[in-house]
Amino acid sequence: MGGGVQWKWTTRLDDPRGRQGSSYDQAGQLLRLAVPPALKVRPTCASGVPGKMPLQNRVNPWGLIVAHPARYAPSTAIFGNRGVLHDDQRKLVRQCHGRMWLACRLHVNRIRKTQRDDNRAFNGRKRSLMTPRRYTELFFLDEPTAMAAGHRPCACCRRSDHQQFMRAWQSAHPRSIPWTAPAVDAVLHAERLANGGGKLRFSASLAELADGTMVSLEPTQTDAWLLWRGELHEWSHLGYGSRRSAASFDGQLVEVLTPRSLNAVLLAGFEPGLPHESAHTRRTQPATPVIDENVAGDHVDDQSADGQRELKQREFKESGL
């Protein structure tokens, strides 16, 4: 045949597809097309560099799952789960599957042999991304992003955070019977999606919001700002950029992306993970992050509540605040 394309004969035993119902002639041979290397096309990522196409597994504060080449810093990145969202070709076919939207640890401490307060079965586990018929691995820049998207702490890999979250939820939403995780998920799910699709939002002044809440100043699904220590920080997949003083919005209403009940939980004292480091520093460009596109940690070991507070205090001191 023309164009440098050649036909190659192979036997049933030589061809790995033989077990999957390939067609052969009576001699047990399959005609297979051999494509010269010059005709093979390498995919190009969003940045224009030849290589792997980015998977659709990054989540923005609007709760949308998008494909983006950014790699998040492991010190603040969050691993998420909304169920099985992809097909056998690793293509997203839905944005959610069920009400349980979790925010998990990104990595597991592979050195420690025991975990103080968590399920040890998660220790050291690794996952291949978007394995067929397994839940879809999602990634967030940080926990404020995950909460804005409507995710709550996982009870398995973040037990102490989950317990603190549930205590704050009970305080913010008191009722006669204790709250359970499924009941919390039902409330959150009603606050995530608007009728007819899209993200459900509400209006409030910045004075009514807690640190760690995400708001939108423009009606676009890419505009998001983090309220943190008296300033609004512009969100992006690469980190936080420009800043605006929260005081300049006194008396004005803004569109709030973080679900109303989660803002109440933050006001009740829940301490989420720290925002991306660009929210603490005056960097001209966000730091370069790290997430392996092929294999990512499933969970990381949690710490006791005291250990978590000590870690956060140490990180605050190191940030120079």
Joined together, the tokens standing for residue 175 give 């009722």
3-state class (DSSP) for residue 140 = strand
3-state class (DSSP) for residue 273 = coil
Candidates 212, 219, 221; CA nearest to 258 is 212
How far apart (Å, rounded) are the C-alpha atoms in residues 78 and 148?
13
Joined together, the tokens standing for residue 245 give 């003083």
Candidates 61, 161, 153, 158; CA nearest to 103 is 153
User: Alpha carbon of 280 to those of 108, 139, 243: distances in Å?
Assistant: 25, 21, 11
Helices (H), 64-139: none
Q: Are 140 and 68 in contact (CB under 8 A)?
A: no
3-state class (DSSP) for residue 204 = strand
Joined together, the tokens standing for residue 128 give 């291949």
| pLDDT the model gives residue 128 | 82
Residues 6+ apart with CB under 8 A from 5: 33, 34, 35, 36, 39
Length of the chain: 321
> Which sign, positive or negative, has the C-alpha torsion 265, 244, 219, 254?
positive
| pLDDT the model gives residue 301 | 37
User: Alpha carbon of 244 to those of 151, 227, 267, 284, 310: distances in Å?
Assistant: 26, 10, 22, 15, 30
CB-CB neighbours of 174 under 10 Å: 8
pLDDT tens-digit profile, the chain (321 residues): 444 434 343 333 444 444 333 344 444 444 333 334 433 333 334 334 445 788 999 999 999 999 999 989 988 999 999 999 999 999 999 999 999 999 998 875 544 444 444 444 455 566 788 989 899 999 999 999 999 999 999 998 899 999 999 999 999 999 999 999 999 999 999 999 888 778 999 999 999 999 999 999 987 888 999 999 999 999 999 999 999 999 999 989 999 999 999 999 999 999 999 999 999 876 444 444 444 444 444 443 333 344 445 545 555 555 554
Query: Would strands 102-104 and 152-153 be described as parallel, antiparallel, or unpaired?
Result: parallel
| pLDDT the model gives residue 138 | 94
pTM: 0.71
